């Protein structure tokens, strides 16, 4: 076996080794931490791309950890869906790492930067692990690793509000983990296996067991909390708002998407389309809650004065779009949902980066104090405007494409009223995005003299934000590129693979 | 002549986009920046005109840019009707650019780089709408046009302007949502959104579904400013005058009516519209809008707002023409797009000239202006006469077709609407001319400092007025010829 064959396990082992390396090197010299972190993430990104190519070229990659075949051993499985998510999250992780350098230097107490980069890698290890594991209990372990790392990172600024936010997340996250563990336990009781493929094969025989239904409900509730699916989103606004900027970007894009991935995994790969639509029909309820999430999240976002909190509630709304796809559960809508996982990660990453830039330069994210900021930070605000247009769904951005697929899917399924709500949701998105645009570009003639000293942020923070905003446009125009993988992934999900 | 594939449609759209980039880069050097605008306007007009001969031969230029989503590729197709819009927009953009440069410099407006950047992107979007080969492409450019014109509308950035901007955006984005819904529904019903001369919806769904679909389209094209969804247009009058001219003549409202005609002729088709009874609905909306908006115009003292209501009224002439579902009515509707644009832009140019030269926006303050600004006033009078439908300006041509269409379409009652509207037009335009030419200001020295506007503004005013007159004598060159080809396309073999 060559090194390439071991890539799956290296993907998980890499960040863990990197985190230990960071710890040792940081002991010696604090300044070594960042280069190691950057090199590690670059390597992981490259590995993710290689695996993704492998998956696209030759189908699902399977790897038995330690050579132990399932059901005894743990199996790592990367299919098209997993590969797609892996590539997406590693792209965002790379961008975040670039962005983090200056942001961390400013926001994190110096003596804590070493621990920051150590835990950063641990978080990545957990998230990558969740994405590529083929074993439900292993997924739970990685989920806990990533969660605990996230609780720590959220409180890294050591501000009182951050502690509260982190604690709230810890409590709700632990409840979620409890649900998930109960669900997994029930599945094991019902089938005697923890391997996803075997579960999928054996579960249909036990579909009438109450144990299985209970497992399903536990899992869906647990992952809904982790994914902040309305109304289980209560931890999210504080966690996103109080985290250091780089952490906000990471948890709002990478971590949020992995939670959604895990939910999709359980819904479609462990359970099946038939189970969630016929045997234990939940899609109708999911669709209803998703539309409520879209509207409620957006309305709450409109009411915010803090830019980061506004974007956080926007995430609550946008998760609704992704869950909308689950509710419709046909090929086109799910393609839209997966496209939105990618699109939302890219645009929300960009928006939070700009919010971080503004905080970095002005020390505030209160909209009422940001009048005319676009004149001082034109590039940052242009990035925001472009990513914001994508959030609203203005063509030809990626945000438009995913919404188009969702609407098309809903129309095809005959769900007219829901499609209408979806469209209304994009109007509400226009309302909250436009609040910032109006203030930044056309507001604040009067306090001009106060803020003459404000300029664009550091290039290392600005470049990733601009890159992601351009990506919003490019991914929209060349939407056929991601769709190639997405189409395949959705077909596999709907086929129960 | 068959369809030919060519890059020219894309080049035409790329020219102003390239100019937009150059405008941003050269922002600090005003003359360089303005050169980019003018060169692009000339190049774009040339590019559009170079496609004219093959279109006049009955050919079409097609180009698939990108595969996009189910429902349509990003694809362009230049046909005769698209050419009508594109040629109007390209010609008027050139004149409007000169005028805008003169206007913005005379008033020393702020943020001129943003202004010219947005105008350049907006014209690219307008040409994109004209050249769209399917509903989805049209929607893409339609939304871009909405968003990119917003900074133009709120240009002065006062709280009042921001409020108007919000209204503008709210109406047009909601419209966009309806248009998207209509596009998706069309795709679900037929599996395509490609424009087909004569329409492709027939037999694809129940009558009620198709009626609802038309309703979605109608609300979607809220840019046509039909009542009661017109409120955004007068509100947008807060914008600098070149923007008003751009909204009213070059791109925005024109895009709305263009879309409605496109949908009527190339998605539904006239026979289907007749069998669904949509003509009557449209006729009622259009008639009410024509009369009501004219009455509103009567009550306005602000010249730009009066012109705005005049536009609302005149745009519904086009809807009225469509509603007749007859060859003559459709001809009148299509012809009214360029003809109205040339006349209305003259009027807006004059309104802006009065602001620059005399700083006045209220009609009651314009007493005696005609003596200080004789050329400007004369051009205003000419264009106003044209809008009323009197010779020797092009307005009468489209109105004659509309009148014939009313009879031909079996709705002679619409003649009454046309007559009432002509009277109302005269009633709200002639007092302006009277005020400017005959009335004397209370203070005889109040107008001493007033003179004609700078040449960059005066020349476009004269040119648009002269073109409006030339179009009366030579309507075929090239607009009526194009309209005839377009009408031929959508009625081949089918005489409603």
pLDDT tens profile B156-208: 888 888 889 999 999 999 999 999 999 999 998 998 888 988 888 888 888 99
Contact B140 A441 (CB under 8 A): no
Spatial contact of B3 and B62, defined as CB atoms under 8 Å apart: yes
Residue A135 phi/psi, 5-degree rounding, is -130, 125
Within-domain flag for A430: yes
Question: What percent of chain B lies above the pLDDT cut of 90?
Answer: 48
Within-domain flag for A129: no
Contact B187 A478 (CB under 8 A): no
CB contacts of B158 in chain A (<8 Å) are none
Residue of chain A nearest B152, judged by CA positions: A442
Is B106 a residue whose pLDDT tops 90?
no
Interface of A with B in 383-402 (CB under 8 A): 389, 392, 394-396, 400-401
Mean pLDDT of A10-26: 89
Q: Which of A408, A434, A479 sits opposite B184 (nearest CB)?
A: A408
Contact A396 B147 (CB under 8 A): no
Banded model confidence at residue B123, pLDDT cuts 50, 70, 90: very high
Is A358 a residue whose pLDDT tops 70?
yes
Within-domain flag for A16: no
**Residue A368: its pLDDT value, please?**
84
**Residue A497: its pLDDT value, please?**
46
**Residue A206: its pLDDT value, please?**
84
**Residue A319: its pLDDT value, please?**
92
Q: Rounded to the nearest 10 degrees, how much is the dihedral formed by the CA atoms of B343, B348, B350, B353?
A: -150
**Residue B335: its pLDDT value, please?**
93
How many angstroms separate the CA atoms of A171 and A157, rounded?
19
- Residue A61's DSSP bridge partners are A78
**Residue A140: its pLDDT value, please?**
94
**Residue A450: its pLDDT value, please?**
54
**Residue A111: its pLDDT value, please?**
82
Q: Which tokens hold the place of B495?
A: 């005489």
Within-domain flag for B462: yes
Is B494 a residue whose pLDDT tops 50?
no
Is B257 a residue whose pLDDT tops 50?
yes
Within-domain flag for A356: yes
Q: C-alpha angle with apex B26: B24 to B31, nearest 5 degrees?
A: 125
Within-domain flag for A111: no
Number of domains forming the structure of chain B: 1
pLDDT by residue (tens digit) across B260-272?
Answer: 999 999 999 888 9
Is B496 a residue whose pLDDT tops 50?
no
Within-domain flag for A241: yes
**Residue A479: its pLDDT value, please?**
86
Q: Are strands A75-78 and A61-64 parallel, antiparallel or unpaired?
A: antiparallel
Banded model confidence at residue B349, pLDDT cuts 50, 70, 90: very high
**Residue B121: its pLDDT value, please?**
93
List the strands of the sheet with B72-78, edge to edge. B3-5, B60-69, B72-78
Within-domain flag for B324: yes
Residue A78 phi/psi, 5-degree rounding, is -120, 105
Instruction: Classify burial at B271, counting beta carbons within 10 Å of its beta carbon; exposed 0-12, middle 13-18, buried 19 or more.
Output: middle
Q: Which tokens hold the place of B76?
A: 């362009």
**From the CA of A408, how many Å to the nearest CA of chain B?**
6
Mean pLDDT of A217-240: 89
Within-domain flag for A202: yes
CB contacts of A420 in chain B (<8 Å) are 181
Tell me the residue range of the domain where B45 lies: 3-491
**From the CA of B195, how many Å to the nearest CA of chain A?**
19
pLDDT by residue (tens digit) across B444-476?
Answer: 777 777 888 888 889 999 999 999 999 999 888
Mean pLDDT of A239-255: 89
**Residue A301: its pLDDT value, please?**
93
pTM above 0.95, yes or no: no
Mean pLDDT of A84-95: 92
Q: How many CB atoms lie within 10 A of CB A247?
A: 33
Q: Which of A405, A423, A477 sits opposite B180 (nearest CB)?
A: A423
Closest CA to A446 of A371, A393, A354: A371
CB contacts of A394 in chain B (<8 Å) are 143-144, 147
Task: Please check whether residue A163 touches B, CB under 8 A.
Answer: no
CB contacts of A400 in chain B (<8 Å) are 140, 143
**From the CA of A400, how many Å to the nearest CA of chain B?**
9
**From the CA of B430, how many Å to the nearest CA of chain A?**
39
**From the CA of B174, how many Å to the nearest CA of chain A?**
7
Mean pLDDT of chain A, nearest integer? 88
pLDDT by residue (tens digit) across B280-307?
Answer: 999 999 999 999 999 999 998 999 999 9
Within-domain flag for B496: no
pLDDT by residue (tens digit) across B312-324?
Answer: 999 999 999 999 9
Number of domains forming the structure of chain A: 1
Residue of chain B nearest A371, judged by CA positions: B157
Banded model confidence at residue A344, pLDDT cuts 50, 70, 90: very high
Task: Please check whether residue A68 touches B, CB under 8 A.
Answer: no
Residue of chain B nearest A430, judged by CA positions: B173
Task: Please check whether residue A334 touches B, CB under 8 A.
Answer: no
Is A434 a residue whose pLDDT tops 80?
yes
Within-domain flag for B246: yes
Is A94 a residue whose pLDDT tops 90?
yes
Banded model confidence at residue A243, pLDDT cuts 50, 70, 90: confident
Is A436 a residue whose pLDDT tops 80?
yes
**From the CA of A473, how many Å to the nearest CA of chain B?**
13
**Residue A447: its pLDDT value, please?**
52
Contact B69 A404 (CB under 8 A): yes
Contact B70 A423 (CB under 8 A): no
Residue of chain B nearest A442, judged by CA positions: B157
Mean pLDDT of A391-414: 90
Within-domain flag for A67: no
Tell me the residue range of the domain where A306 lies: 135-494
Banded model confidence at residue A158, pLDDT cuts 50, 70, 90: confident
Mean pLDDT of B49-75: 81
**Residue A279: its pLDDT value, please?**
84
How many angstroms separate the CA atoms of B199 and B434, rounded?
48
- Residue A312's DSSP bridge partners are none
Is A445 a residue whose pLDDT tops 70?
no
Q: Which of B162, B165, B177 sits opposite A427 (nearest CB)?
A: B177
């Amino acid at each position: 076996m060559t090194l390439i064959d071991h890539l799956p396990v290296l993907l998980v082992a890499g960040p863990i080794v990197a985190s230990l390396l960071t710890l040792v090197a940081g002991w010696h010299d604090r300044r070594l931490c960042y280069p190691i972190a950057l090199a590690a993430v670059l390597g992981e990104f490259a590995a993710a791309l290689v695996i993704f190519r492998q998956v696209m070229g030759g189908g699902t990659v399977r790897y038995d950890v330690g050579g132990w075949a399932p059901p005894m051993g743990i199996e790592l499985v990367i299919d098209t869906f997993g590969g797609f998510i892996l590539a997406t999250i590693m792209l965002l992780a790379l961008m975040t790492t670039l962005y983090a350098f200056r942001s961390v230097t400013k926001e994190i107490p110096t003596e804590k930067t070493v621990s920051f980069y150590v835990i950063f890698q641990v978080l990545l290890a957990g998230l990558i692990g969740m994405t590529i594991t083929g074993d439900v209990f292993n997924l739970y372990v990685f989920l806990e690793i990533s969660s605990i790392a996230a609780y720590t990172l959220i409180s890294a600024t050591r501000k009182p509000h951050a502690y509260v936010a982190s604690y709230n997340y810890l409590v709700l996250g632990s409840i979620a983990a409890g649900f998930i563990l109960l669900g997994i336990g029930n599945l094991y009781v019902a089938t005697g296996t923890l391997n996803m493929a075997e579960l999928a094969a054996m579960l249909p025989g036990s579909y009438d067991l109450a144990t299985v239904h209970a497992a399903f409900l536990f899992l869906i509730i647990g992952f809904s909390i982790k994914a902040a699916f309305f109304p289980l989103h209560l931890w999210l606004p504080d966690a996103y708002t109080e985290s250091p900027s780089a952490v906000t970007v990471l948890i709002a894009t990478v971590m949020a998407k992995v939670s959604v991935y895990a939910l999709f995994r359980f819904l479609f790969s462990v359970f099946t389309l038939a189970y969630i639509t016929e045997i234990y029909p939940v899609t109708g309820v999911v669709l209803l809650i998703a539309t409520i999430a879209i509207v409620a999240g957006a309305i709450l976002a409109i009411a915010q004065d803090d830019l980061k909190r506004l974007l956080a509630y926007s995430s609550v709304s946008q998760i609704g779009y992704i869950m909308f796809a689950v509710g419709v559960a046909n090929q086109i809508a799910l393609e839209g949902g997966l496209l939105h996982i990618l699109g939302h990660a890219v645009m929300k990453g960009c928006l939070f980066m700009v919010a971080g830039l503004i905080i970095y330069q002005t020390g505030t994210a209160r909209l009422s104090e940001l009048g005319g900021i676009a004149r001082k930070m034109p590039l940052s605000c242009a990035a925001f405007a472009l990513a914001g247009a994508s959030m609203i769904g203005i063509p030809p951005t990626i945000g438009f494409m995913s919404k188009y697929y969702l609407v098309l899917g809903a129309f095809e399924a005959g769900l007219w009223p829901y499609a209408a709500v979806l469209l209304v949701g994009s109007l509400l998105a226009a309302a909250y995005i436009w609040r910032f645009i109006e203030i930044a570009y056309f507001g604040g003639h009067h306090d001009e003299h106060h803020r003459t000293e404000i300029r664009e942020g550091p290039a290392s923070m600005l470049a990733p934000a601009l890159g992601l905003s351009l990506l919003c446009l490019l991914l929209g125009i060349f939407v056929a590129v991601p769709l190639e993988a997405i189409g395949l992934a959705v077909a596999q999900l709907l086929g129960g693979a | 002549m068959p369809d030919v594939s060519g890059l020219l449609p894309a080049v035409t759209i790329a020219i102003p986009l390239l100019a937009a980039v150059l405008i941003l880069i050269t922002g600090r050097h005003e003359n360089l920046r303005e050169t980019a605008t003018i060169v692009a306007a000339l190049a774009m007009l040339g590019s559009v005109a170079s496609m004219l001969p093959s279109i006049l031969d009955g050919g079409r230029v097609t180009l698939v840019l990108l595969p996009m989503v189910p429902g349509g590729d990003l694809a362009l197709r230049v046909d005769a009707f698209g050419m009508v819009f594109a040629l109007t927009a390209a010609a008027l953009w050139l004149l409007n650019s000169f005028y805008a440069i003169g206007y913005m410099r005379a008033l020393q407006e702020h943020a001129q780089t943003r202004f010219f950047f947005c105008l350049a992107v907006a014209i690219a979007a307008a040409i994109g709408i004209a050249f769209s080969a399917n509903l989805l492409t049209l929607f893409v450019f339609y939304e871009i046009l909405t968003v990119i014109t917003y900074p133009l509308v709120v240009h002065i950035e006062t709280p009042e302007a921001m409020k108007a901007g919000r209204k503008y955006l709210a109406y047009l984005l909601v419209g966009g949502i309806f248009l998207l819904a209509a596009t998706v529904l069309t795709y679900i019903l037929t599996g395509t959104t490609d424009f087909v001369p004569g329409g492709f919806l027939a037999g694809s769904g129940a009558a009620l579904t198709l009626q609802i679909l038309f309703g979605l389209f109608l609300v979607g094209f809220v840019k046509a400013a039909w009542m009661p969804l017109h409120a955004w247009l007068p509100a947008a009058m807060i914008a600098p005058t070149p923007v008003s001219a751009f909204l009213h003549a070059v791109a925005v409202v024109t895009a709305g009516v263009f879309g409605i005609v496109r949908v009527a002729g190339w998605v539904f088709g006239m026979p289907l519209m007749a069998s669904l009874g949509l003509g009557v609905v449209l006729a009622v909306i259009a008639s009410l809008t024509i009369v009501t908006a004219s009455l509103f115009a009567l009550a306005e003292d602000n010249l730009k707002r009066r012109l705005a209501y005049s536009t609302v009224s005149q745009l519904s002439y086009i809807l009225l023409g469509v509603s007749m579902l007859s060859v003559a009515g459709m001809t009148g509707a299509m012809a009214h797009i360029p003809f109205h644009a040339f006349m209305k832009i003259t009027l807006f140019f004059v309104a802006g000239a009065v602001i620059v030269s005399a700083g006045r926006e209220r009609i009651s303050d314009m007493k005696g202006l005609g003596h200080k600004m004789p050329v400007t006033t004369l051009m205003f009078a000419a264009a106003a006469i044209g809008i009323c439908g009197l010779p020797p300006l092009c307005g009468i041509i489209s109105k004659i077709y509309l009148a014939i269409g009313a009879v031909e379409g079996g709705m002679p009652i619409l003649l009454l609407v046309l007559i009432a509207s002509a009277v109302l037009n005269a009633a709200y335009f002639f007092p302006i001319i009277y005020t400017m030419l005959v009335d004397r200001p209370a203070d005889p020295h109040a107008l001493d400092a007033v003179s004609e506007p700078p040449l960059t503004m005066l020349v476009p005013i004269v040119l648009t007025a002269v073109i409006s007159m030339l179009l009366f004598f030579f309507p075929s060159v090239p607009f009526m010829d194009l309209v005839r080809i377009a009408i031929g396309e959508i009625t081949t073999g089918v005489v409603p």
